Structures are given as C-alpha cells and as structure tokens.
Amino acid sequence: MHSYRPAPVLEALGVCSEDEQLYRALLARPESTATDLTTFVDWPANRVGRHLRSLLSLGLASRTPGRPARYLPAVPEAAVELLALRKQAAIVEARLGASVLTAEFRQPDAFTVIRGAEAIAQRFYQAQQCAQDEVLVLDRMPYARRLDGVRHRIIYDMASLSEPGDLTAARSAGCCRMLRDVPLKLVVVDRRTALLPTAADVVVELGPSSLLDALLRLFELLWKQASPLTPSVSEGPLTSDDQQLLSLAAAGLTDQAIARRLGVAQRTVERRMQRILKALDATTRFQAGLRAGQRGLLV
C-alpha cells in the first residue's frame, strides 16, 4: 500500500518534485540531519545529499555550522517569493535574447558595435562623464569610475569580491549590492545609453529601444534579489560589522567564504553570527535576515 504524497506545487518555479518532497520533509522536521532525513523519506544517503545541495542552492534550506550539520527550511512565503523573482529574471533574459535577434533582423543600425580595449575604455569614460542622474552597473567593470553628484547603483557578482580589500573598494563606489552568478556585465547611463560587453574586447552600445527597456527591467529584478553590501548606520542591535556579515550570509556565502572576504578567522565569524541571532531573537540565519530587513538594518 503506497503512502499518500501531496501534489507538487513548486514545479512552475523550477523546483523538481523530489526537491519539493525533501523540502516538505524539512518543514515537518526542522533541524534534521542528513541521516534523519534519510530515515524519514526512506532514500539512500547519496540521494538525500544530492537533493539537500539542490535545496541549499535554491534558497529553500540553510545549513547550521558544526557537526553534525543540521538543515533548516526557509520560510515558505519568502522562499517562494525569491524563486518567483528568479523566474521573472529568467523571463526577462529570454526576452532580452529575443530583442537582440529582432534588432539584428529589423534594425541593423539600432546599435553600435565597439571593438578594441582602448576604444571600449574611452567610450565607457565618455558615457559616464556625460551622466547627469544615475549610472547602473552589473558586475565589476574595470573602466567604471565614480562620479560626484551622480547616483550609482552597482550589483557585484559574488565571485568578483574574493579578497578582503575588495569589499572596502566596492562600498566606496556607490550604492552596492551583491548577487551570486550575475548573468551579464552592463553599464546604463541615465537610462538612455547602455554599454553591454558581449565578448572579449567587444561592446554593444544601445540607445532608447525595447532592448534597453528589457535590460532596465532585468537590472531592477536583480536589484531586488541582491543582498545589500553597504549596511546602513541605524539604531538597533547590530553594529555595521554585524550588518555586513549578515548581508554576506544572506547572499549564500559559507562561514569559510565570509571569513576569507573579511580577513578574519572562521571561528570569529561563527561567534559573531551566534551573537547576531541572539540580538535579533532569531533561531536561523534566514530568520535573522528577514528580521533585519524588516527593521531596515540592511537597506
């Protein structure tokens, strides 16, 4: 006789039925170890391990420090919202690809192709010198420079902030956030001109168009998903260092990776994280991130 299994509800957001089954097992038994879950779902250990890694990458679960590791389910409402944002970003990317093909087919002169490192660097410099209101940047651009009086919003790929000094340099560039796996590099000036690297020493410059509109929508979707890199100084239980650590944790970095970026010992990160959880009256890092965000401590 087969046991009842509820119909999957997350497939439309890219979650396979087995991932969802394990997520539901975690919802029923928070703080389970991998061994606990192996017994509960009656799967081989390697199968449980594979789907646990998938849940971690999807943001549906988090792992506690120490041994044995215990797994905590993400709050369903917040997890589904994040999955939906990612799905929307994928749709915008698909539309972006279609817009490129349309431009090539109907409007061969709707954009300009710039080739050569020197010409590209000069064009980025000129475009930003003309900025009056806002510059939007995806990933670290070696030719991007900070302009006084012009608002900058920058989304860094997590991989580009590999050294402790990178965080300090990034925060000085403007209003910054961090995201794992930024899909492309981009600079948009005053929402009128976009510079889009497409290959080594090749950049496409776009003016007002449906393609530029799609790029702007993609940026705003990624901005919502990204974790703040420049914590605010506000009244509350968290210091600015605590806020920075929590932002890195919320972006999905392990304690080891956080320690490497901050230039401190992993044990220091673990102690500070425990203090943060206590200060926010939270039992999980995900819950701490939600509460800090609700209080405006990470904005």
Q: What is the pLDDT of residue 146?
A: 57
pLDDT at 235: 41
Kindly state the percentage of the chain with pLDDT values over 90.
16
Domain at 11-73: CATH architecture: Orthogonal Bundle (1.10)
Rounded average pLDDT over 225-234: 59
What number does CATH give the domain 80-227? Answer: 3.30.870.10
Domain with CATH 3.30.870.10 in the chain: 80-227
pLDDT value at position 165?
Answer: 62
Mean pLDDT on 204-231: 82
Question: What CATH topology corresponds to 231-294?
Answer: Arc Repressor Mutant, subunit A (1.10.10)
> What's the pLDDT score for residue 24?
92
Question: Where in the chain are all domains bearing CATH 1.10.10.10?
Answer: 11-73, 231-294
Residue 35: predicted pLDDT: 92
Buried residues in 9-48 as b, exposed as e (16+ CB within 10 A): ebeebebeebbbebbbbbeeeeebbeebbbeeeebeeeeb
32-41, 76-85, 183-192: least confidently modelled range: 76-85
**Average pLDDT score over residue span 8-30:** 88
| Percentage of residues of the chain with pLDDT beyond 70 | 79
Q: Quick one: average pLDDT of 210-226?
A: 87
Please report which confidence band the pLDDT of residue 170 belongs to, taking 50, 70 and 90 as the band edges.
Answer: low
**In the predicted model, what is the mean pLDDT of residues 2-14?**
72
The pLDDT of residue 63 is: 87
Average pLDDT in the 207-235 region?
76
Mean pLDDT of 3-17: 78
Mean pLDDT of the chain: 79
Angle CA 54–249–293, to nearest 5:
110
Q: How far apart are the first and last CA of the chain?
A: 52
Supply the pLDDT for residue 139. Answer: 79
Q: Pick the residue with more confidence: 126 or 226?
A: 126
pLDDT beyond 50 at 143: no
Question: Which has the higher per-residue pLDDT, 202 or 246?
Answer: 202
Please name which of 45, 133, 116, 92 lies closest in space to residue 216, comparing C-alpha atoms: 92
Of 81-90, 140-149, 258-267, highest mean pLDDT: 258-267
Q: Is the model more confident about 272 or about 105? A: 272
HEC per residue, the chain:
CCCCCCCCCCHHHCCCHHHHHHHHHHHHCCCECHHHHHHHHCCCHHHHHHHHHHHHHHCCEEECCCCCCCEEECCHHHHHHHHHHHHHHHHHHHHHHHHHHHHHHHCCCCEEEEECHHHHHHHHHHHHHCCCCEEEEECCCCCCCCCCCCEEEEEEEHHHCCCHHHHHHHHCCCEEEEECCCCCCEEEECCCEEEEEEECCEEEEECCCHHHHHHHHHHHHHHHHCEECCCCCCCCCCCHHHHHHHHHHHCCCCHHHHHHHHCCCHHHHHHHHHHHHHHCCCCCHHHHHHHHHHCCCCC
> Which residues on adjacent β-strands are paired with residue 195?
187, 205
Give residue-wise pLDDT tens across range 49-98. 999 999 998 888 988 888 888 999 888 888 888 888 888 887 777 777 76
Give yes or no for a contact between 264 and 256, defined as CB atoms under 8 angstroms apart: no
**Residue 162: C-alpha distances to residues 30, 258, 287 (Å):** 32, 10, 26
Pick the more confident residue, 208 or 102.
208
Report the pLDDT averaged over residues 242-269. 83
